[in-house]
Structure 1
Amino acid sequence: MTRKPSNSTWLDSVEGLSLVGAVLGTVAGLAFQQLIYVSAPLALALVMNFVNRQRHEEELERSLGDRVVETRLEVERQFEDELSRVRDEASLTPDEVQTTANEDLLAVQEQLQQLQVQTQQPMVAVAELQQQISTLSTQVARALANLENLGTGVATGMLQGVVKASQETGERDPSESTSESVAPDRASEVASADEFWKQYQRGVRQFAGVNLSQVNFSQRRDYLDGTDFSRANLQGANFMGLNLGEATLKEATLDEAQLDYGNLSRSQLQNASLVGATLRGANLRRADLRGANLENADLSYADVTDANFEGANLKGVKFFRSRGYEQALQSQFVAAS
């Protein structure tokens, strides 16, 4: 708790008076040869000096802590602004791209040439296969002619079946015979952090409805941006310091979850339950929290600039030194007792 200025002034005044009393007591002690006139004011001066020193140390620690948090938030805000600038540059028109990124255009042309070479290879393979089929068809036709001369109808029918099967095999796309099973884009049964990370490494991003309560995700630093956790049970899960930017957490249960210092910018948290969740220092810029239940959540030092709290339950929420929360709540006020 911050000390009041009146207390600081009072302590300084008492310390000054104690020092003056010590000086006067010294003079009186020399005059009357009584140590009591010196010891009492001197002891009081020492006590007040110790109290003032403790107060200054506490204020210095508090000031350093606030500066560290403000510096981290400033770095995250600059990173978010830089990311927005890159996205804006990516949406430029072709004329603007041509005038500002000639080197990128050369790189794209080289990639196109490589792609053309790669696409020509299967075409050459198909042409060779068709040639082989044509040769086989010619040989079978000659065999049929010979068999017709002999009047062997049964053999003719068998050879015609061979020709038909060969043609069907040649016309089939070569990629069908060598196709591999595609990894599913949705999660199968997930019950632990290890199973989650295994499926995530295989490219799975759809984890809607999974039950991963109390799971600790913070042991790794993989980006979880864009992951779909809709309707998932993540109660008490630990996402501390992880990147969940643009993640979908609609109707997810995040009660008492730890999201401190995490990146949740542009995340979708509509109707999510965040009762008692900790989001200290989290980045919630442009996050969609419409209808979310944030009762007793801790958003101290968080950045909620341009976040949407329309219809959200903010009863008991801590916004201590949160950046942009007054502006975010100005257009959609929610009564919180």
Structure 2
Amino acid sequence: MLNNYEPFELWQEYELGKRNFCGINLEKIQLEGWSFENADFSVANLELASIHRTGFIRTRFRQANFSRANLELVDLQENDLQGASFWRSHLFRVYAEQSNLTQINFCEASLIECNFTGADLSSADLTNSYIKNGDWRGVNLTGAKLKGAQLIGSLDLRGASLTLSQLNEAMIESTVKLPETIPR
């Protein structure tokens, strides 16, 4: 793991053309108002990071550690986050449409007003997560674990690949819009 970076150092290297940040230690980093494109943060440590109003376009975060991080108004569209960990993280208005979120760990995470439309969350672990409001239409949740997950508010799961047995392990408010194939 590389040494901890300050936000300015990270931005300076990015502006000088560096795109490979694999394994970088960004623990407790605070990013606000930044934009990264086509970068690779695979296996990066972003534990306890605070990321606000920042965009990561077509960026890789394979097996990155976002445990206990706080992400607000973050753009993760078309990103590859396969196997990343967001254990006990807080995500508010995170946009990850069409992203690869396979095998992601959202255990005990809060996902509020997030847009994951068309994202692939197959084999994701959402155990004991808190999911409120948001657009999850067409999300692939094949093999995802939902044990103890709370699905509440105006969460839209229409068109999501989800089974009744998966939902039986979750707590679901009547306001949640379920896939058409799931009876109420």
Measured against the shorter chain, the TM-score band is: 0.7 to 0.9
Deviation at 1:330, TM superposition (A): 5.3
**Could you list the runs of 5+ residues in structure 2 that have no partner in the other structure?**
149-184
User: What CA RMSD, in Å, does the superposition of the two structures yield over aligned residues?
Assistant: 1.8
Tell me how far apart the structure 1 counterparts of residues 144 and 106 of structure 2 sit (CA, whole Å): 14
**Which structure shows the higher helix fraction?**
1
Whichever residue aligns with residue 24 of structure 2, its letter is V
Tell me how far apart the structure 1 counterparts of residues 65 and 103 of structure 2 sit (CA, whole Å): 13
Q: Is the CA contact (8 Å cut-off) linking 1:242 and 1:262 kept in structure 2?
A: yes
| Counterpart residue number, 1:227 | 39
| Counterpart residue number, 2:50 | 238
In structure 2, relative to structure 1, the CA distance for the partners of 1:195 and 1:316 (3 Å cut) is: same
Tell me how far apart the structure 2 counterparts of residues 223 and 234 of structure 1 sit (CA, whole Å): 16
TM-score where L is the length of structure 2: 0.73
Deviation at 1:194, TM superposition (A): 2.3
**Which structure shows the higher strand fraction?**
2
Instruction: Find the residue that maps to 2:139 and give its secondary structure.
Output: helix
In structure 2, relative to structure 1, the CA distance for the partners of 1:334 and 1:217 (3 Å cut) is: same
Alignment of 1:197 onto 2:27 = no
* Structure number with larger C-alpha Rg: 1
- Alignment size in residue pairs: 147
Q: Percent identity?
A: 22
TM-score where L is the length of structure 1: 0.41
Higher relative contact order (CA 8 A, sep 6+): 2
Instruction: Find the residue that maps to 1:224 and give its secondary structure.
Output: strand
Matches within 5 A, 1:71-90: none
Deviations 1:95-119 (A, max 9, x none): xxxxxxxxxxxxxxxxxxxxxxxxx
Tell me how far apart the structure 2 counterparts of residues 233 and 329 of structure 1 sit (CA, whole Å): 26
| Counterpart residue number, 1:269 | 81
| Counterpart residue number, 1:214 | 28
Tell me how far apart the structure 2 counterparts of residues 246 and 263 of structure 1 sit (CA, whole Å): 10
Deviation at 1:209, TM superposition (A): 0.4
Alignment of 1:281 onto 2:93 = yes
Q: Is the CA contact (8 Å cut-off) linking 2:124 and 2:141 kept in structure 1?
A: no
Deviation at 1:266, TM superposition (A): 1.0
Deviation at 1:335, TM superposition (A): 3.4
**Could you list the runs of 5+ residues in structure 1 that have no partner in the other structure?**
1-187
Matches within 5 A, 1:1-337: 191-218=5-32, 221-324=33-136, 327-329=138-140, 331-337=142-148
Whichever residue aligns with residue 108 of structure 2, its letter is N
Q: Is the CA contact (8 Å cut-off) linking 2:55 and 2:76 kept in structure 1?
A: yes
